[in-house]
C-alpha cells in the first residue's frame, strides 16, 4: 500500500509538470540593443519556425567598430567644450551587416517562469561604412576664428586642434568597404509569454573585409596598424513578438 501511495504521488508530480506546454508560432520579429568589445550596435531579426525547436530568418545589424588603437585625446583648449579626437585617425568605421540566421532551442522551458536557452549562428555581408574625420581648428595659436577641415595628421598640428567636429561633417563622403561576417552565440529567453520574447544574448562576431580598412594614417612612426579583420565579444538585449 505504501508503494501504491508513492506511485500515485510520482504520477501527480509528473502530470503537474505536463500541465504547461509551449505554443509554437509561425513567425518571430525582434529588435535588439548590443554592446560589444569594439563599440555598440542595433539589430532587427525576422525569423520563421521550421519546427518546434528550430527557426531561420534574416538579420540586419548596424554596428560601430572601434580600432583597438583608438584613444581619445583631450582638447588643446581645456576651456572649450569641444569633443575629443583620436590622433592619427582618418576615418570612423561603421558596418551594416545583413545575413541569414539559424537558431535552435537546446534547453526548452519546463514551466512558466523558467528560461529557455537557444544556440544561434548567422553570417552574410558586412558592408563597412568609412566616414572621414573632420576637426575644429584654431586659426591662430592665441585664439581666433574656428575652422572646420578634414583631418590630416601632417597638416594639422595638435596645438591647433580644438576637437573633433560635428559627426555630420563629411557624411556625404562616406565610402563603402565590403566584407563578410560570422556570428555565434547563446540567447536566454526569460519572458513568461509564448507570444513575446525577452532575451539576453552572449556571443562573438567576426568581421572580415576584402581589403585593409584605412581607419588610421600610416607612416614610419605609426607603422602598419590598419587591418582587415575585427573580432568582438558581445552582449545584447532583445525584445520582440511571435505570431501565426
39-48 pLDDT, tens digit each: 999 999 999 9
Quick one: DSSP state of residue 89?
B
pLDDT in tens, 130-149: 999 998 887 765 556 788 89
The whole-number pLDDT of residue 195 equals 87
In tens, the pLDDT along 223-241 reads 688 999 999 999 999 999 9
The answer to whether 204 and 185 are in contact (CB under 8 A) is: yes
Question: pTM for the whole thing?
Answer: 0.83
The pLDDT value recorded for residue 119 is 97
Looking at the chain, the whole-number percentage of residues with pLDDT higher than 70 is: 82
- Identify the band that residue 25 occupies on the pLDDT scale cut at 50, 70 and 90: confident
Mean pLDDT, residues 81-98 taken together: 88
pLDDT higher than threshold 80 for residue 127: yes
User: Residue 73: CB partners within 8 Å, gap ≥ 6?
Assistant: 84, 85, 86, 87, 158
**Torsions phi, psi for 172 (to 5 deg):** -70, -10
- Categorize the per-residue pLDDT at 191 as very low, low, confident or very high, splitting at 50, 70 and 90: confident
Domain residues of the chain, as ranges?
25-67+92-129+172-243
Sign of the Cα pseudo-torsion (14, 20, 23, 29, in order): negative
Main-chain phi, psi angles of 171, to 5 degrees: -65, -25
Pick the CATH number of 25-67+92-129+172-243 from 3.40.50.300, 3.30.200.20, 2.40.160.20, 3.10.20.520: 2.40.160.20
Amino acid at each position: 500500500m505504501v508503494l501504491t501511495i508513492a506511485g500515485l504521488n510520482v504520477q501527480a508530480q509528473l502530470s503537474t509538470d505536463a500541465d504547461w506546454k509551449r505554443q509554437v508560432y509561425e513567425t518571430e520579429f525582434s529588435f535588439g540593443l548590443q554592446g560589444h568589445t569594439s563599440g555598440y550596435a542595433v539589430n532587427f531579426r525576422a525569423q520563421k519556425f521550421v519546427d518546434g525547436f528550430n527557426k531561420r530568418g534574416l538579420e540586419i545589424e548596424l554596428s560601430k567598430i572601434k580600432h583597438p588603437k583608438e584613444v581619445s585625446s583631450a582638447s588643446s583648449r581645456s576651456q572649450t567644450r569641444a569633443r575629443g579626437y583620436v590622433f592619427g585617425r582618418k576615418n570612423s568605421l561603421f558596418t551594416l551587416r545583413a545575413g541569414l540566421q539559424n537558431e535552435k532551442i537546446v534547453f526548452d522551458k519546463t514551466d512558466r517562469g523558467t528560461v529557455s536557452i537557444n544556440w544561434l549562428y548567422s553570417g552574410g555581408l558586412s558592408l563597412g561604412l568609412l566616414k572621414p574625420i573632420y576637426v575644429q581648428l584654431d586659426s591662430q595659436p592665441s585664439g581666433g576664428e574656428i575652422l572646420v577641415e578634414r583631418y590630416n595628421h601632417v597638416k594639422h598640428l595638435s596645438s591647433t586642434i580644438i576637437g573633433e567636429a560635428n559627426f555630420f561633417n563629411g557624411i556625404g563622403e562616406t565610402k563603402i568597404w565590403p566584407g563578410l561576417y560570422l556570428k555565434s552565440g547563446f540567447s536566454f529567453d526569460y519572458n513568461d509569454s509564448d507570444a513575446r520574447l525577452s532575451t539576453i544574448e552572449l556571443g562573438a562576431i567576426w568581421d572580415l573585409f576584402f581589403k585593409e580598412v584605412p581607419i588610421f594614417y600610416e607612416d614610419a612612426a605609426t607603422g602598419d596598424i590598419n587591418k582587415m579583420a575585427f573580432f568582438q565579444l558581445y552582449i545584447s538585449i532583445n525584445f520582440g513578438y511571435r505570431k501565426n
